[in-house]
Amino acid sequence: MKILLVGGGGREDAIFRNLREHGHDVHVCMSNRNPSIISGAASYHIVKETDWNAVRDIAVKTKPDLVYVSPDGALDTPLVDSLMDSGLAVASPSRSAARIETSKEFMRSLLSRHGVEGNVWNATVSSRDELIYALGELNAEFVVKPLGLTGGKGVKVMGYHFPTAEEGITYASGIMEKEGKVLIEEKLSGEEFSLQAFCDGRHVFPMPLAQDYKRAFEDDRGPNTGGMGSITDSDHLLPFVTREQSERSLYILRKVSAAMEKEGFPFHGVLYGQFMNTSGGIRVVEINARFADPEGINVLSIMDDDLGEILMNVANGNLHRQPIFRRVSTVLKYIVPRGYGSSPAPSELSIESGVLGEGRKLFYASVSGTLDRVTMSTSRALAVVASAGSIPDASEIVDRGLKFIHGDFQVRRDIGSREMMRKKIASA
Ligand code: AMP
Ligand code: GLY
């Protein structure tokens, strides 16, 4: 097939490589000069992914069999709708369907309108009085969330990001001043996990569970980031999530899909639920409208199926079977500029081919340059991924590959380590 992919980060490199491995001609619209994508694309266009008029014009000229719009920013524009209006097959959600991610208020209210399990106490408020009233009703620790997209960096949790209710109120008031409204949620605690699923408007098929590590520093310290790395396990569960809990989260995603179909905006694309395993059961932290980054890279790196065929079925409402993933554990560690998460200082990285030893894979994210020398941006640079019989073995294989990458960077070596996994299993 001739496929147009919109996006040029690490997740899109993983999507791109699966499509190339299955023989598709891939044309790409991206804002950076991703060297991995450039090396195999049938054509590429350097364009801001949110410049939807420009991307739509390129798509119409390219005449692809299928378009996949990947980044959340692009899903929050009229792009997908205008591609569909131009008669193209698109495996991504319409702007109305993408609201499941782009409006946290919409997500919470959809769950409550349809009685979907796992919802969390929440209130959207637009004045200080409403805020104080809501916090009095909740009478517990809380979380402050801007309603729209924040690249994983706008949510602040009491006890982690602000110590007292007063400081939370100040943060929430600042958001209200700028944006008019803010979302307050009850603070949950427990292990978080990600369930990504292909969804064709009606049928929902899961990918292996994954866990993302958002904090910038080892031992889960430091500011929240877009994600420093991620793991999956060989049974496609996680050592601290049972099959029953995994099935419960899939049941929730299926109910979300059914609710969206009922309300007249069926979801086509990847539905990605971020769940928390709490003492009160499985709860919904977020629902996103795309592959997770980094977790999407883990699962795509072990997918044996042709993603192009799956995405065509996603677009056409024809998804009828479970995609196949290899039964191995994976660990991914992102190489990021020093200071990432607060004040990143991008520099150059040089890459020796030894990084691909022991079955490791290297995905290129927000970088420009060549395959062996890249310039970082202020965002994530390179993802090193390994698979093995166990999570700690995969983590060690990644670590052995890091010595082939030279430059001034940060990486979390603890992700998937024996010690980290032991702690997580003990506290589950
Ligand atoms: P989000 O940007 O909404 O994915 O949130 C970023 C992170 O904030 C999540 O991965 C959680 O760790 C944390 N978070 C979000 N909502 C809650 C909540 N209701 N309770 C506790 N932590 C939360
Ligand atoms: N893994 C975090 C995200 O993709 O939003």
Is 32:366 a contact under the CB 8 Å cutoff? yes
What does DSSP say about strands 25-30 and 122-125: parallel, antiparallel, or unpaired? unpaired
Cβ partners under 8 Å of residue 393, min gap 6: 329
pLDDT over 70 at 254, yes or no: yes
| Mean per-residue pLDDT, 139-168 | 89
How much distance in Å is there from the Cα of 295 to the middle of ligand 2? 7
Q: Is the CB of 158 under 6 A from ligand 1?
A: no
Tell me the average pLDDT of the chain: 96
| Mean per-residue pLDDT, 203-221 | 96
pLDDT over 80 at 120, yes or no: yes
Is 382:396 a contact under the CB 8 Å cutoff? no
Q: Is the CB of 293 under 6 A from ligand 2?
A: yes
As its CATH architecture, domain 121-186 has 2-Layer Sandwich (3.30)
**3-class secondary-structure state, position 247:** helix
CATH topology of domain 2-92: Rossmann fold (3.40.50)
Q: Where are the domains of the chain?
A: 2-92, 121-186, 191-427
> Cβ–Cβ contacts within 10 Å for residue 264, how many?
8
Comparing CA positions, the residue from 333, 267, 277, 332 lying closest to residue 300 is: 332
Helix then strand then coil, % of the chain, to nearest 5 = 35, 30, 35
Residue 351 forms beta bridges with which residues? Answer: 405
Query: How far apart are the C-alpha atoms of 272 and 380, rounded to whole Å?
Result: 20
Query: How far apart are the C-alpha atoms of 71 and 226, rounded to whole Å?
Result: 13
- Ligand number nearest to the C-alpha of 189: 1
Q: How would you write 50-89 as a 3-class SS string?
A: CCHHHHHHHHHHHCCCEEEECCHHHHCCCHHHHHHHCCCC
Q: Is the CB of 295 under 6 A from ligand 2?
A: yes
Give residue-wise pLDDT tens across range 302-356: 999 999 999 999 999 999 999 999 999 999 999 999 999 889 999 999 999 999 9
Cα–Cα–Cα angle for 314, 317, 323, nearest 5°? 45
Is 184:139 a contact under the CB 8 Å cutoff? no
Q: Is the CB of 191 under 6 A from ligand 2?
A: no
Is 197:206 a contact under the CB 8 Å cutoff? yes
pTM: 0.96
DSSP 271-297: EEEEEEEETTEEEEEEEESS--TTHHH
Is 212:195 a contact under the CB 8 Å cutoff? no
Q: Is the CB of 73 under 6 A from ligand 2?
A: no
What does DSSP say about strands 405-407 and 348-351: parallel, antiparallel, or unpaired? antiparallel
How much distance in Å is there from the Cα of 48 to the middle of ligand 1? 28
How much distance in Å is there from the Cα of 274 to the middle of ligand 2? 9
- Ligand number nearest to the C-alpha of 295: 2
Q: Is the CB of 287 under 6 A from ligand 1?
A: no
pLDDT over 70 at 152, yes or no: no
Cβ partners under 8 Å of residue 415, min gap 6: 213, 228, 229, 230, 231, 331, 332, 333, 395
Q: Is the CB of 156 under 6 A from ligand 1?
A: no
- Max CA pair span of the chain: 60
Residue carrying the six token digits 């109910």: 255
Residue 224 pLDDT class (50, 70, 90 cuts): confident
Class of domain 191-427: alpha beta
Give residue-wise pLDDT tens across range 374-427: 999 999 999 999 999 999 999 999 999 999 999 999 999 999 999 999 998 888
Name the residue at shortest CA distance from atom 1 of ligand 1: 152
